Chains A and B, each alone.
Chain A
């Protein structure tokens, strides 16, 4: 096909992820957060982004990866959701890379669980794989935490 796609890339627990660059509003360094009690643990807190209140989602928890080590400060990848901006917390931000659609593949059947649900596909790079996230699905979180129903 020859069409290419630009992805903003970032690292998360040793994995390499990407999301469509046009979904990304901005990338900012760590911001102090206000915790939201009784919310889903995936919601790390609220940040003040120039007067706008933005929900910060811990992407490690969202993807059911290992928790971020103590003392390591995440970066905010602020994406445009359908009702305002949402921040995805990542370990480290990478470059914006261009990918050829020909190298795009469905995630292998062996990938299961949340990752399978949220990863739209895989791009093969020379030395590693890039997992492309489905932004909309990633932002779909049930508001109340599980303990609330107890």
Chain B
């Protein structure tokens, strides 16, 4: 132990270096398997193992040395062309890399190379090596023949040794295509490329970079204060100096930011190995292709997407790409293709992982989702293709028909989605049965510095990340009363006809009275969370600023309303609002948010959501009829003059936004007396279902309330789902989706009638 302590620094160096070497080794070995003639790769692999062996001998890690030694022997045979690389040798070499890695981990934690017995591995390595009768002793590296000669020798040896019936040679015999490849690439061996990168880079501890980043943040603050102070000064040389300070600080900030950027290739580089292992385990052939692997990302983001991407890649190989037989039967090449590409777009990094496998069968998804009880049958029936594919992101979902040890490990795509969303990214999936699947991930460039809108409430400033921001609306005092329909504490603003639920920031922050500005005007920040829009009413809107995001301590972690904190120009701390958390807390979006699931059928939702508050639109029909519609099913509320109604094939319609909007009179549907006053304006609830938009004519729009939707079934009448007690009154629940469908259906039938009439 004492010796290790003394050598601490040396050992650490050795560990860092060896780990890097091993990563390179993984890549090289897999690449080598594809192209066994690559002398450069072989030489590089040999060098790495040789270095590890040499150093650990010097540091007296005997066990590690012995494993590395036999590995080196085997490699030297390969290098000298006395052996041809085949799947078995590659696997054994990879196993050796793993063993070395384990021992390095042992050294790191205990200071010794562990007491695991690698005799079996050593024996395997030896057997492979001795499969060919060793003719002469290892040729020293000094008198290596020229590349061309070596390559010739490689083919020659391989060809010569085929007749011998040792196991390794049998495999080599099977690998005939590889030999062909050897011959083809013999003439085009590139000269060994010296690594020039190593001379211009140094290794830096990440903590040091983080510290530098913090210090730069501090400097920026100090600079801001000096600039404020400068504006009151007359001294021109002082002003000039602080200008210079300003410029230098900005450049320094940019520079330090850049040091944290890493090419995405750093995490991709391990995927060929992952793919190889998974493909081998499932008996598949997969080729990995990568595009734009030098696309850069902040280190923290790189770390955060590593595991989700690995999962996606494993999934693509395990479930996406079919077995060679199936592929050939489908007229595709036996070898599957996995393409990974990355590119910058609009301040975001896009990562796409696509395979040319079997694609995702929506039918299977449906069955699985039903089987698992994740969705209701009638819900499924209404889902579009995209929504169906979205099912794959539900917790507890796994489409693998048989659970394999590769990807059926209880971690599903839902974890991938959550992890990506955690860093402000989005996941999207596209799939075509028989053609493959593409998973698109969009993530922000950096988490450290983001543009944000600064708003105020109760004299405190809050930052809202710009990604969620749609627009700003300011209502002057005289507009407020007309524009904001605020009844029973659920205010709504009609933004160009769309119902925008309003949330008062002060309410959400637990302050007593709602926001008010001196002049009575209202500021609405229109935000988007989980595909829903809502308006956040704030006291004041200051400015947009680039802010440095800092995490909150664990004492505040439980509060979903805040995403973090930042330090403002004056050195004070401001909280960053978490728009999704805020929306969930304000119940603008339901807490179990799943894009496809959010628009649940009211009745299905009843069981799942019993006891959860929903925002409901209350309607009046006839003299005393009271109906409710979940607000999230409503597109818009419109008013049409009575004479705007026209007839089209016996169907009442109005012209609406350049379209013809079919109308359905609720009074007719429910069979109650129709208030027939042609000149009276029509109150219309516009709703869309499966791309069909229909206007539902109601007599009165009563209220918007927030209440529990506790549906008592029983009143099963056409157009109704049941009834519930809302605001202490029995209220019928309108089957909006059903209504829209029936009207849309009629319209479609009319269309076909017309078509057949024309034909006749």
**B557 CB within 8 Å of chain A:** yes
> Is A115 an interface position by the 8 A CB rule?
no
B555 touches A55 (CB 8 A): yes
Return A55 CB to nearest CB of chain B, in Å. Answer: 4
Complex Cα gap A94–B702 (Å): 66
Q: Return chain B residues, CB-CB under 8 Å to A143.
A: 554-559
Give the chain B neighbours of A39 by CB distance below 8 A: 555-556, 559
Q: Which of A11-19, A30-38, A125-133 contacts B (4 or more CB under 8 A)?
A: A30-38
Residue A73 at the B interface, CB < 8 A? no
Whether B215 contacts A51 by the Cβ 8 Å rule is yes
Query: Is B221 engaged at the interface, CB distance under 8 Å to the other chain?
Result: yes
Q: Does A96 contact B (CB under 8 A)?
A: no
Chain B 561-600 interface mask (CB, 8 Å, partner A; 1/0): 1100101000111110000000000000000000000000
Knowing A50-B218, A53-B550, the reply to whether A43 touches B556 (Cβ < 8 A) is: yes
| Contact indicator A32/B558 (Cβ below 8 Å) | no
Contact A32-B510, Cβ < 8 Å, known A51-B217, A51-B567, A86-B553? no
The answer to whether A37 touches B511, judged by C-beta atoms less than 8 angstroms apart, is yes
Report how far A35 CA is from B460 CA in the complex, Å.
8
Which of chain A's residues 7-60 have a Cβ closer than 8 Å to chain B?
A: 32-40, 42-43, 45-48, 50-55, 57
Q: Considering the chains assembled together, what is the distance between the CA atoms of A147 and B510 in angstroms?
A: 8
Chain B contact residues: over half helix, strand or loop, or mixed? mixed
Residues of B within 8 A of A55 (CB): 552-553, 555-556
- CA–CA, A141 and B554, complex, Å: 8
Q: How many residues of A contact B (CB 8 A)?
A: 35
Q: Is B370 an interface residue (CB 8 A)?
A: no
Contacts of B550 in A (CB 8 A): 52-53
The reply on A84 being an interface residue by CB < 8 A is yes
Task: Assess whether B379 is interfacial by the CB under 8 Å rule.
Answer: no
Asked whether, in the complex, the Cβ of B572 is within 8 Å of the Cβ of A48, the reply is yes
Inter-chain contact B558/A142, CB cutoff 8 Å: yes
A75 contacts the other chain (Cβ, under 8 Å)? no
Inter-chain CA distance A1–B686, complex, in Å, is: 82
- Cα A38 to Cα B221 in complex, Å, equals 28
B215 / chain A contacts, CB cutoff of 8 Å:
51
Among A46, A54, A147, chain B packs the most CB atoms within 10 A around the CB of: A46
- The CA of A9 and the CA of B552, in the complex, are separated in Å by 27
**Which of A51, A57, A84, A139: most chain B Cβ within 10 A?**
A51
In the assembled complex, A121 has its CB within 8 A of some CB on chain B: no
| Interface hits, B202-227 → A, CB 8 Å | 214-215, 217-218, 221
Q: Are B554 and A81 in contact (CB under 8 A)?
A: yes
Please, how many residues of chain B have a CB less than 8 angstroms from a CB on the other chain? 29
**A97 within 8 A of partner (CB):** no
Chain B residues whose CB sits within 8 angstroms of the CB of A43 once the complex forms: 555-556
CB-CB under 8 A from A37, the residues of chain B are 460, 509-511
Q: How close is A88's CB to chain B, nearest CB, in angstroms?
A: 11
Q: Do residues A34 and B460 form an inter-chain contact, with CB atoms below 8 A?
A: yes
* Contact residues in A for B561 (Cβ distance below 8 Å): 38
**How long is the Cα–Cα vector from A48 to B572 in the complex, in angstroms?**
7
Q: CB-CB < 8 A to B565: which residues of A?
A: 34, 46, 53
Known: A34-B460, A34-B572, A46-B573. A52 touches B558 (CB 8 A): no
Q: Taking A53-B550, A53-B565 as contacts, is the C-beta distance between A47 and B573 under 8 angstroms?
A: yes
B554 touches A32 (CB 8 A): no
- A65 beta carbon closer than 8 Å to chain B: no
Q: Are A53 and B510 in contact, with the CB atoms below 8 A?
A: no
Collect the chain A residues with CB atoms within 8 Å of residue B508's CB.
38
Which residues of A have CB within 8 Å of B573?
A: 33-34, 45-48, 53
Q: B536-566 interface mask toward A, CB cutoff 8 Å, 1 = contact, 0 = none?
A: 0000000000000011111111110110010
Within A130-150, the residues touching B (CB, 8 Å) are 139, 141-145, 147-148
Residue with the greatest number of chain B CB neighbours at <10 A, chosen from A37, A52, A54, A86: A37
Asked if A95 is at the interface of the complex by the 8 Å CB criterion, the answer is no
Residue of B nearest to A83 (CB): B554
Chain A, range 50-92, C-beta contacts under 8 Å to B:
50-55, 57, 81-84, 86
Complex: A141 Cα to B551 Cα, angstroms? 17
Closest residue of chain B to A34, judged by CB?
B573
Tell me the bound Cα distance from A63 to B127 in angstroms. 70
* Distance (whole angstroms) from the CB of B303 to the closest CB of chain A: 17
Do residues B460 and A54 form an inter-chain contact, with CB atoms below 8 A? no
Q: Which of B214, B221, B562 contacts A36 (CB 8 A)?
A: B562
Chain B neighbourhood of A57, CB < 8 A: 555
Bound Cα distance from A145 to B508, whole angstroms:
13
Contact B218 A51 (CB under 8 A): yes
Whose C-beta in chain B lies nearest to the C-beta of A143?
B558
* 9 cross-chain pairs, A with B, having the tightest CB-CB distances, nearest first: A143-B558, A37-B509, A55-B553, A34-B573, A51-B218, A46-B573, A141-B555, A144-B558, A53-B550
Supplied contacts A37-B460, A37-B511, A51-B215, 6 more A-B pairs, CB within 8 Å: A33-B573, A34-B574, A39-B556, A51-B214, A55-B553, A86-B555
- A-B contacts, 23 of them at CB < 8 A, read A34-B460, A34-B565, A34-B575, A38-B510, A38-B559, A38-B561, A39-B556, A45-B573, A46-B565, A47-B573, A48-B571, A53-B565, A53-B567, A54-B553, A55-B552, A55-B553, A82-B554, A84-B553, A139-B555, A141-B555, A143-B558, A144-B559, A145-B510
